């Protein structure tokens, strides 16, 4: 049986030699350039980060290790993590071992709960999640072993150890935030043997007699697991980790970026927007009324949460997967219906406004509506759900960057005066 560790150990020498060869033979080959506009506008479209776990095609969307995301919708979170890390799906024995390994590591140090108890009631759940991650840094295998002289060759192994601990604990922490902080109820203990997704659903404790929420959560985790290496949150973790700060520091950093309204918090903002529409029209408006409402909202200088994307230029298959799920399970739910209607009304309006390069709905325009349908009505929890799934991809990416020994990030910054001088010299 080739478990996760052994599969990585077998593949990493090959990855290292591929990178070494690329560097030796093509180190000076230009693979991207940057315009002044790209520098000022988030480096959009600049090929600046290596990521083998997943790729986002502007037209076709997410591919995980070369496989279209939609072909993986029946897989478990553990299978996706194995695939993200290694490029192959695990055999039955390796999968079982990974699930057992995660169950074994699911215990969260009690000081995290004490810290939660001492934080004000109105602390945002993303702050709790990120603070929990940072507080657990003292548990890092990587940092302990680094301080004992860990060789560079072995950085990935210690990173894998941290990754397994973090993946095992994160659903426990997220569910605790939901149960105790948002609902004021007792926590539900982790149940060994259920697997990542079912155990998370179990600890959230929603009423789910026919397992529809569990089925949804499995898909939710897959569609949020990874989206290349240069979106704001993942890039943050990659930058933090590049200085050999361990996974706790790195993932806490990613959470702080995900918590912004232009990124992961858009799932919270999207449902807030939908509920405001529902209240304004005392129900589901017709398309003409909604169109007028959205146009006014846009004209006042607002962004429509859950629409647009920095890389995608077509339908987001992650949106489509969750939309199809919603269409099956809650087609008459008013929040879902408004989301559906927004999907028809907003793209022509964004096109008419002529600013957004992608006028279509993204994943954050649908995920919250389904969570709402399943009874998670505290919108502040939605980005925590995103983060708990995204950690699979971040961990896989950081294992891989430590395996090939990526250097510390340090691009060059320039001043406005330098830019002015450069453009006037170029004229
Ligand atoms: N509503 C209104 N205006 C929008 C818009 C939207 N949904 N999406 C883009 N625009 C505007 C931008 O604000 C920008 O305006 P300015 O030139 O005045 O600054 C212009 O269109 C061009 O932007 P872009 O190149 O199309 O988009 P970016 O790559 O700069 O940004 C994103 C991408 C996602 C941040 C942006 O589309 C947005 O703010 N969307 C709403 C928030 C959202 O849904 N975020 C979640 C994205 C998915 C994720 O990361 O989780």
Asked whether residue 247 falls in the same domain as residue 293, the answer is no
Among this protein's residues, is 364 annotated catalytic?
Answer: yes
Question: What is the DSSP code string of 3-42?
Answer: -HHHHHHHHHHHHHHHHHHHHHHHTT-------HHHHHTT
* Structural element, H or E, at residue 393: helix 382-404
386 domain-assigned: yes
Confidence bin at 426 (pLDDT 50/70/90): confident
Asked whether residue 240 falls in the same domain as residue 321, the answer is no
Residue among 168, 169, 142, 166 at smallest CA distance from 156: 142
Confidence bin at 427 (pLDDT 50/70/90): confident
Q: Mean per-residue pLDDT for 327-332?
A: 97
Asked whether residue 394 falls in the same domain as residue 366, the answer is no
Q: How many domains does the chain have?
A: 2
Cβ of 262 less than 6 Å from ligand 1: yes
Q: Mean per-residue pLDDT for 188-196?
A: 94
Among this protein's residues, is 124 annotated catalytic?
Answer: no
59 domain-assigned: no
Please tell me the predicted confidence (pLDDT) of residue 219: 97
Among this protein's residues, is 227 annotated catalytic?
Answer: no
Q: Mean per-residue pLDDT for 247-269?
A: 98
Token pair 């998670």 is at which residue? 376
pLDDT tens sequence across 390-404 = 999 999 999 999 999
232 domain-assigned: yes
Asked whether residue 106 falls in the same domain as residue 204, the answer is yes
Instruction: Name the residue at shortest CA distance from atom 11 of ligand 1.
Output: 356
Q: Mean per-residue pLDDT for 315-334?
A: 97
Pocket test for ligand 1, best of 54, 308, 339 (most atoms within 8 A of CB): 308
Confidence bin at 425 (pLDDT 50/70/90): confident
395 domain-assigned: yes
Q: Mean per-residue pLDDT for 371-394?
A: 98
Cβ of 44 less than 6 Å from ligand 1: yes
Instruction: Name the residue at shortest CA distance from atom 40 of ligand 1.
Output: 308
Catalytic residue among 141, 309, 316, 373: 309
Cite the DSSP H helix spans in 59-195: 77-86, 92-104, 110-117, 125-135, 141-147, 155-176
- For residue 91, is pLDDT > 80? yes
Contact between 291 and 345 under an 8 Å Cβ cutoff? The reply is yes
Asked whether residue 125 falls in the same domain as residue 204, the answer is yes
Inter-CA distances, 391 with 168, 255, 399, 414, Å: 10, 9, 12, 33
Asked whether residue 220 falls in the same domain as residue 273, the answer is no
Ligand 1 atom, smallest distance to 365 CA = 44
Rounded mean pLDDT of the chain? 97
Q: What is the CATH number of the domain that holds 339?
A: 1.10.230.10
Confidence bin at 1 (pLDDT 50/70/90): confident
Q: What is the CATH number of the domain that holds 92?
A: 1.10.580.10
Helix axes 287-299, 334-353, angle to 10 degrees: 50
pTM of structure: 0.97
Instruction: Name the residue at shortest CA distance from atom 2 of ligand 1.
Output: 303
Asked whether residue 233 falls in the same domain as residue 135, the answer is yes
Asked whether residue 129 falls in the same domain as residue 190, the answer is yes
Asked whether residue 296 falls in the same domain as residue 221, the answer is no
26 domain-assigned: no
Please enumerate, as own/partner, the contacts of 252-255 that have beta carbons within 8 Å and a separation of 24 or more: 252/130, 252/131, 252/133, 252/134, 252/137, 254/387, 254/390, 254/394, 255/126, 255/129, 255/130, 255/133, 255/387
Domain that holds residue 334: 266-373
221 domain-assigned: yes
Contact between 92 and 11 under an 8 Å Cβ cutoff? The reply is no
Cite the DSSP H helix spans in 123-154: 125-135, 141-147
Asked whether residue 187 falls in the same domain as residue 330, the answer is no
Asked whether residue 204 falls in the same domain as residue 284, the answer is no
- For residue 347, is pLDDT > 90? yes
Asked whether residue 146 falls in the same domain as residue 198, the answer is yes
Cβ of 304 less than 6 Å from ligand 1: yes
Catalytic residue among 165, 263, 315, 373: 263
61 domain-assigned: no
145 domain-assigned: yes
Confidence bin at 84 (pLDDT 50/70/90): very high
Please tell me the predicted confidence (pLDDT) of residue 190: 95
């Amino acid at each position: 049986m080739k478990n996760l560790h052994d599969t990585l150990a077998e593949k990493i020498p090959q990855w290292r030699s591929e990178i070494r060869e690329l560097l030796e033979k093509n180190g000076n080959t230009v693979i991207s350039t940057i315009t002044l506009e790209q520098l000022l506008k988030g480096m959009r479209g600049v090929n600046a980060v290596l990521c083998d776990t997943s790729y986002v095609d502007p037209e076709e969307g997410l591919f995980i290790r070369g496989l279209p995301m939609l072909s993986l919708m029946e897989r478990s979170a553990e299978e996706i993590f194995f695939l993200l890390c290694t490029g192959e799906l695990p055999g039955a024995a390796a999968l079982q071992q990974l699930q057992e390994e995660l169950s074994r590591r699911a215990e969260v140090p009690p000081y995290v709960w004490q810290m939660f108890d001492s934080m004000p009631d109105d602390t945002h759940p993303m702050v709790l999640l990120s603070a929990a991650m940072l507080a657990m840094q003292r548990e890092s295998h990587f940092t302990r072993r680094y301080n004992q002289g860990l060789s560079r060759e072995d950085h990935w192994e210690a990173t894998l150890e941290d990754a397994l601990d973090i993946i095992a604990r994160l659903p426990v922490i997220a569910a605790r935030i939901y149960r105790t902080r948002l609902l004021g109820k007792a926590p539900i203990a982790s149940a060994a043997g259920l697997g990542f997704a079912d155990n998370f659903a179990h600890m959230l404790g929603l009423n789910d007699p026919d397992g529809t929420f569990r089925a949804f959560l499995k898909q939710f985790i897959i569609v949020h697991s990874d989206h290349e290496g240069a979106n704001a949150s993942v890039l943050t973790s990659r930058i933090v980790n590049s200085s050999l700060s361990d996974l706790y520091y790195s993932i806490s950093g990613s959470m702080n970026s995900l918590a912004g309204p232009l990124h992961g918090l858009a799932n919270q903002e999207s449902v807030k927007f939908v509920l405001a529409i529902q209240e304004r029209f005392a129900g589901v408006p017709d398309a003409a009324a909604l169109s007028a409402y959205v146009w006014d909202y846009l004209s006042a200088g607002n962004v429509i949460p859950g629409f647009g994307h920095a890389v995608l230029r077509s339908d987001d298959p992650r949106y489509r997967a969750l939309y199809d799920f919603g269409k099956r399970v809650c087609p008459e739910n008013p929040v879902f219906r408004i989301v559906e209607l927004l999907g028809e009304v907003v793209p022509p309006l964004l096109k008419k406004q002529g600013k957004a390069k992608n006028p279509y709905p993204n994943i954050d325009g649908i995920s919250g509506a389904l969570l709402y349908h399943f009874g998670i009505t505290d919108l502040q929890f939605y980005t925590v759900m995103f983060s708990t799934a995204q950690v699979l991809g971040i961990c896989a990416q950081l294992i891989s960057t430590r395996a090939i020994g990526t250097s510390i990030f340090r691009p060059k910054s320039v001043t406005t005066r330098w830019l002015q001088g450069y453009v006037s010299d170029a004229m």
